[in-house]
Structure 1
Amino acid sequence: MRMPGRSKACPAAKPRPKNRTNRNGSIRCVLDRRARREAAVLFRKKRERRRTKGCRMLEWIKEFIRAWRDYPIQPGRRIAGRYEVIEWLGMGSYGLSYRCIERRENGESAGEVALKQAKPSRRRTAGALLTRERDALLAMDHPFIPRCRGFFTEMRCEWLAADYVRGRTLENLIFEDGRIFDEADCLRWALELFDRIAHVHSRGYVHLDIRIPNVIMNEDGLHLIDFGLARRIGEHEATDPEGSPLPSRMPARVVSDLEDAAHLLLYMLYSGYTPPVGPSEPKSAASAGSAAKRRAFGAHRAAGLTSDRSGSRAEPVAGSSWENELALSAPTAALLRRLLRLDAPFADAAEASEAIRSSLNVLERAKAGN
């Protein structure tokens, strides 16, 4: 019997062991905070590596599927029973192009056509762009602009048939054939180009993609092709059937085409430019043997002018510019400055054509005087 007022003596508390053994005999380590943080970081990194590896594999699979869907149609195959594929011309961001022969019902040839297919992997956007290109071509009526010859849906893709233009693109002439255009040549070709541009504008459209791959030259003259980005003058941002904005390089305004034409002229003018020889280069580097270097340098310079597509005036790149590097007559230099909106811009293509004609007359009179 326990006596009142007396407490039972408590046994001394035993120290807690740092390690405990579970039923399996394994030792559970008591980790401090730093060790736990390091373990968590290592775990997250490992998980992220697995996730990244999985994403890369998924992207590779998607890319493979896209490439398989966009694989070009082989020569000899007929599309819609009418267009026999002769050769694949190339692939862009939103379409594939073929040279085809149009066959009548009796099998006879109705001539060559350029057949453009909306890219299957980007079907909605590509189809919307091709539909807009069809509308633009149907609005044109010019011998040096392709006619729309058909539009249909086949293999769940939109297709556009247009006149096939034989010749060499300006890009091929400069970079592959090494053709050199002097100032007078550039102005003569510019007169033809601005005639086509003026026609496009008179039909209420702007081309918005006047570049050296989209200009074909042959014995008949200069042809303006590829109306894939064409829009109506003043048109706001266009959308595809799902409401997503369609690609566009610049505002749908007349001055946008004029500025593009100026860049194209600079490519032509730089085709004959020889860059200065550096101190470590032999003098032969600037000779005729460096044509490839000259063309590459000219392309870099011609593309080096930047402008704010929202409407502000263009500014030349830092350092020496085309005005210092190209030996141009004063009227031609003034023409380019106005086309590039460095000075007061032209109101339309017709006014620009008059300035081109005036510059060409000055050159021809100076040549005749010499």
Structure 2
Amino acid sequence: MRSIRKLHQFFVDKPVDNGTIINNLYRVSHVIGSGSYGIIYYCKDIQTNEIRVLKQLRPSKHRTKSEVALFENEISIISRLQHPSMPQLYEYFSVNGSLFYSMNYIEGINMEELIFSTNKTFNEKESLAFIFNLLPLIDHIHKRNIYHGDIRISNILINKDKLYLIDFGLSKIEQNDSKFLEIRQGDYYDLGDILLYLLYTTYSSKNKKALPWTEELTLEQETVHLLKRLLQINEAYPTIESIAKDVEAALLANTKENQA
């Protein structure tokens, strides 16, 4: 059954041909990404000559109301973002039964690509600074009761040291304040996961046996404290402000260590 479904998706979910004009407005240049339920195109607005990004719900997903609802939820969330470092929604529409929405093109390099393609590394201070610069973006969406749900390096772009948060496909809007306090911890955990990932870019293993990060990495105690709370090994953080305070303390500790 699964192989039949995969075969069906292969034939049904073919991307739009390059050069195609969608909705009498967007000329498709090429596919820039695809996920389990969406195809993303790099396009040009033929009226303004500006670059746009189109996201299409895979045709195979139209058969289930839940998949369509997820796509519509993503559109609703992007319309609420209103931040220069996040996608900006222009319009959503249907063409020949296919659902699309358009957004601005954010120029930058994907953090995952930056690390793996250029062997970019981050020392402790640089890793902490990265998290500190990411915090205002997380704070922005949380103040709008939006839980991202998928904060990882592949969903962060960087351009001239400025960070951009993308891909809100798994995000949720939660109006129940008490429930939101609980689910936003998932975003905090992701921050800890990113920090740990960046710290490991400078790590060179000397042991054949893998050890816990607390034994493999040599870090300032303030950074260890921060990580343990983000990863909920110790008491979880209640707010972005409390995280920022400890990130600043860890940055200060690293500055003093470098000056010593």
Fold match, TM over 0.5?
yes
- Amino acid of the residue matched to residue 224 of structure 1? L
**1:13 alignment partner in structure 2:** none
- Amino acid of the residue matched to residue 190 of structure 2? D
How many aligned positions are there? 256
**1:75 alignment partner in structure 2:** 18
Distance between the aligned counterparts of 1:172 and 1:361, measured in 2? 29
Structure 1 residues 339 and 209 mapped into 2: Cα distance closer, same or farther (>3 Å)? same
Identity of aligned residues (%): 29
**1:192 alignment partner in structure 2:** 133
Normalising by the residue count of structure 1, what TM-score does the alignment of the two structures yield?
A: 0.65
Larger fraction in strand? 2
What whole-Å deviation, never above 9, does each CA across 1:266-303 have from its counterpart, x for those lacking one? 11111111112549xxxxxxxxxxxxxxxxxxxxxxxx
Distance between the aligned counterparts of 1:122 and 1:191, measured in 2? 38
**1:151 alignment partner in structure 2:** 92
- Residue aligned with 1:159, SS: strand
Q: Could you say which structure has the larger radius of gyration?
A: 1
**Structure 1 residue 114 corresponds to structure 2 residue 57:** no
- Residue aligned with 2:118, SS: coil
Q: 1:161-172 alignment to 2 at 5 Å?
A: 161-172=102-113
**1:259 alignment partner in structure 2:** 189
Which shows bigger deviation, 208-217 or 60-69?
60-69
Instruction: Give the conservation status (yes or no) of the 8 Å contact 1:74–1:88.
Output: no
- Residue aligned with 1:176, SS: helix
Point out which structure has higher relative CO (alpha carbons under 8 A, 6+ apart): 2
- Amino acid of the residue matched to residue 130 of structure 1? F
Moved over 4 A (4+): 59-62
Distance between the aligned counterparts of 1:154 and 1:323, measured in 2? 53
Distance between the aligned counterparts of 2:156 and 2:135, measured in 1? 12
Structure 1 residues 220 and 326 mapped into 2: Cα distance closer, same or farther (>3 Å)? closer
Distance between the aligned counterparts of 1:150 and 1:228, measured in 2? 17
User: Runs of 5+ in structure 1 lacking a partner?
Assistant: 1-54, 236-250, 280-318
Structure 1 residues 189 and 202 mapped into 2: Cα distance closer, same or farther (>3 Å)? same
**2:200 alignment partner in structure 1:** 270
Distance between the aligned counterparts of 1:103 and 1:357, measured in 2? 47
Distance between the aligned counterparts of 2:167 and 2:149, measured in 1? 10
Larger fraction in helix? 2
- Residue aligned with 1:351, SS: helix
Instruction: Give the conservation status (yes or no) of the 8 Å contact 1:233–1:254.
Output: no
1:354 aligned to which of 223, 241, 245: 245
**2:148 alignment partner in structure 1:** 207
What whole-Å deviation, never above 9, does each CA across 1:129-161 have from its counterpart, x for those lacking one? 221111111111211111111111112122121
Structure 1 residues 141 and 220 mapped into 2: Cα distance closer, same or farther (>3 Å)? farther
- Residue aligned with 1:152, SS: strand
Distance between the aligned counterparts of 1:72 and 1:89, measured in 2? 11
What whole-Å deviation, never above 9, does each CA across 1:160-193 have from its counterpart, x for those lacking one? 2112112111111122221111111111111111
Structure 1 residues 330 and 277 mapped into 2: Cα distance closer, same or farther (>3 Å)? closer
How far is the alpha carbon of 1:65 from its aligned partner?
Answer: 2.6
- Amino acid of the residue matched to residue 274 of structure 1? S
2:37 aligned to which of 76, 94, 100: 94
- Residue aligned with 1:343, SS: coil
Structure 1 residues 184 and 320 mapped into 2: Cα distance closer, same or farther (>3 Å)? same
How far is the alpha carbon of 1:99 from its aligned partner?
Answer: 1.0
**2:223 alignment partner in structure 1:** 332
What whole-Å deviation, never above 9, does each CA across 1:196-221 have from its counterpart, x for those lacking one? 00000011111011011101111150
- Amino acid of the residue matched to residue 229 of structure 2? R
- Amino acid of the residue matched to residue 142 of structure 1? H
- Residue aligned with 1:72, SS: coil
Distance between the aligned counterparts of 1:62 and 1:255, measured in 2? 35
Instruction: Give the conservation status (yes or no) of the 8 Å contact 2:145–2:175.
Output: no
User: Runs of 5+ in structure 2 lacking a partner?
Assistant: none
* RMSD (CA atoms): 2.2
- Amino acid of the residue matched to residue 192 of structure 2? A
Distance between the aligned counterparts of 2:230 and 2:22, measured in 1? 43
